[in-house]
Amino acid sequence: SSAFLASALAGDPVRLFVQPSAFALPSDSEVPVVMVATGTGLAPFRGFLQERKTLADAGSKLGEATLFFGCTHSDVDFLCE
């Protein structure tokens, strides 16, 4: 799909569909969270961490959060070292 979008021109029709996702933080902010980003990238987990910061800023107690990041080629995957 990435190659298709890369070759699409402005105005070309693109068929898509949206599915609901169960990918979310627990509703109880005190539940510990382990995040494993192996192949998914960090983007969804950055969103989780931002949401947790917003909760903390509002006074919510947070459970421990741990983020593991894995990559195949550190010479090209570490863009912001």
pLDDT in tens, 56-80: 999 999 999 998 887 777 676 666 6
> Are 68 and 37 a contacting pair, CB within 8 Å?
yes
Task: For residue 60, give the amino acid letter.
Answer: S
For residues 49-62, average pLDDT: 95
Q: State residue 1's pLDDT score.
A: 62
In degrees rounded to 5, what are phi and psi of residue 43?
-50, -50
Q: State residue 64's pLDDT score.
A: 95
Which H helix or E strand runs over 69?
Answer: strand 65-70
For residues 47-61, average pLDDT: 94
Residue 48 scores a pLDDT above 70: yes
Q: State residue 38's pLDDT score.
A: 76
